[in-house]
A and B are shown apart, each in its own frame.
Chain A
Amino acid sequence: MDLLDFARGPVLVLALLVFVLGVAWRLAGVLRRPRLPDLSPAREGAPPPWQGALRGIVSGLHPRRTFGASAFISGLNGYVFHIGLALIFFGYAPHIDFVRRHIGLGWPALPDAMMYLAAGVTILSMILALVLRLTDPVLKLISTGNDWLSWGLTFLPVITGMAVITESSALTLVRDHPIFRGPLALHLLAFELLLLWFPFGKLMHAFLFPFARGATGVRFSHRGVKS
């Protein structure tokens, strides 16, 4: 068993196990906290809570110009690397093939050129996020180890992934086995490290954000606040 077999075998199983159980544990731990019902009468014409939650989730989906240019740029940058990461993970043909081999689920891939562009933009955007965190006085004050670790463990799979690409994805997919087993193993291990860290740090916002935004959406719509 070489490093790639190790990464594809026991480490992958462990990482997925920790990811799934960890996310479930953290979500359940938060959602089981006591719930105080709001007994105040809702504003006349207020939508039902589920609609308020939905409005709260959707209204947070666009960066706002209202709060200044720097906040807008910073917010916009966040959207850029989130979308970039999603495109890379879900759109790159070898990634889809990886998923198909494990759970049998597949979908059409995006062209390689688009993937290279997405990866390049994502890397630049993540570097900008890091520079902002290192230099902005507010971000310096509120940043914790969680932020640095989460950035590093998100960046690592992207950069190791770029290092593995030596040919078109069509060629990669027709091979029986990968040419560069070592770099691919490192890429997979980097991704598995991300999965292992995911439930413990701020990356959990990927699962928490609809609940957090939804809760405020319910509160606002109950009061007739048009967010």
Chain B
Amino acid sequence: MSGATFDRQGTQSDAQRLQAAMHSFVSEFGVTAALHLESCVHCGLCAPACHFHVTTGEPRYTPIHKLEPFRRAYLREASPLAPLIRKLGLVKAPDIGDLQNWQELIYDACTMCGRCTVACPMGIDIAELIKEARHGMFKAGLVPDRLALMDRTARQWGSTATPGEDLPDILAEAAREHGVSIPCDLPQADILVTAAPAELGEHTKALADAAKILNRIGARWTMHSQGFDASNIGFNNGDLELQEKLTRSLVDTAVKIGAKTVLLPECGHAYGAARWEAAKWYGQALPVRIIHMTEFLDEQLAAGKIRVKKIGESATFHDPCQIVRRGGLEAAARRVLAALGFELIELQDHGLAGYCCGGGGGVVSNPRAAPLRQKVFALKQQQIDATGAQHFVTSCGQCRITFEQGAKKAGWTKPTESLLELVADHLLD
């Protein structure tokens, strides 16, 4: 690969960057990673599963190829045959050029959506391996600049959107604008409600709608300036320290106020980071339950605590990868859609096989990846239009932003609707 685009952060020498990456890579090679790196038969069946490969036809976007430096690090440093491989020089050691050249493949051209994982006949969880490879890239200071900037902001503020001390003002403004009460920094509550960065900016309606539903059911809830941003940028960037810090801020705050539940916003990576990975930072089972907004809506509807008007029109649904394919909430979203009275017309590829929006894994925030994202948008647009559905709905704010950006550029007028906002807008007394 030549002419690849890459950014560098920090003042480490090339040798230090390489050493940092290799050290991190080796620390990732647990039994599952090792099994998966050993089992690839180079069948190439992951390629037609990847939206970036499908929409560009570029062989270099073959998912398993994106792991090449990581694979070589494994074979040389951790595989059972490593001494033999090193001695005979059977596998080339990754060098700084490889890491720089692979930055685009690991960050710009992978959303960690896991469609390739489902396609792999060996069951190799390529998405998880990419996430692990990102840990080393971050240590080496080889992350796209925009993601690195967001990382620095989140390290300082605890959020990419706003410092915690500004949260009460933002919530007060949103409460005034939408006419709901949004409690903040209550000393005691049953539910700690969290947000995605966009909900503190352009999507405050989602925040207000969550408040509307929580107030309707009479929940004791609060948002809190010490732990409010659930979309964990450390999880996407490969910054484990930040991932831990952001995760702890949510769980520690929940414990402090006596909350039993942390309610996550409509954000896919928030779910991946908090629901499945928070416990590893604690070293024990979490003292709180972590649920996604879709689960919450599903539970409230099932329990009869909220009721909604039937919309009685047709809708199609985009399955956010971290919530459905990697999160297991495929049925929950569909039950909520059914409660809203939608006639669901599925996308050609949906559920486990659904295509990513093209913006997951931080790709939506990476301006370098905009042309790639736009190609994926065209694929999604074609599938959505083909359904002829009146509504296009999803349950992830990041997917929504990706679709909105794509639609703006393509001149596509169909709005991307939020499941949460649809429920809130159709609440029955």
Give A contacts to B, CB under 8 Å. 25-26, 28-36, 38-41, 43, 56-57, 60, 63-64, 66-68, 70-71, 74-75, 78, 136-144, 146-147, 200, 202, 204-205, 208-209, 211-217, 219-220, 223-227
Contacts and interface: CB of A to CB of B under 8 A. Distances in A.
A102 to B, nearest CB: 28
B81 A60 contact: no
Chain A facing B: main interface SS: helix
Contacts of A66: 119, 349, 353
A226 B284 CA distance: 26
A71 B34 contact: no
Closest 8 CB pairs between A and B?
Answer: A29-B80, A224-B328, A213-B123, A39-B279, A212-B39, A216-B123, A33-B31, A223-B328
Nearest to A29: B80
Contact of A227 (B65, B289, B352): B352
Contacts, number: 170
A216 B349 CA distance: 22
B224 to A, nearest CB: 22
A226 to B, nearest CB: 7
B42 A143 contact: yes
A212 B328 contact: no
A144 B36 contact: no
Contacts of A217: 123
A97 B40 CA distance: 34
Contact of A39 (B36, B78, B284): B284
A141 to B, nearest CB: 4
Contacts of A142: 42, 44, 62, 64-65
Given A26-B81, A225-B326, A216 B125 contact: yes
A68 B48 contact: yes
Contacts of B40: 202
A41 B280 contact: no
B385 interface: no
A200 B81 contact: yes
Contacts of B47: 71, 138
A211 B35 contact: yes
Interface string B40-52: 1111110111000
Contact of A40 (B48, B275, B326): B275
A60 B330 contact: no
Interface in B253-306: 275-280, 282-286, 289
A60 B30 CA distance: 23
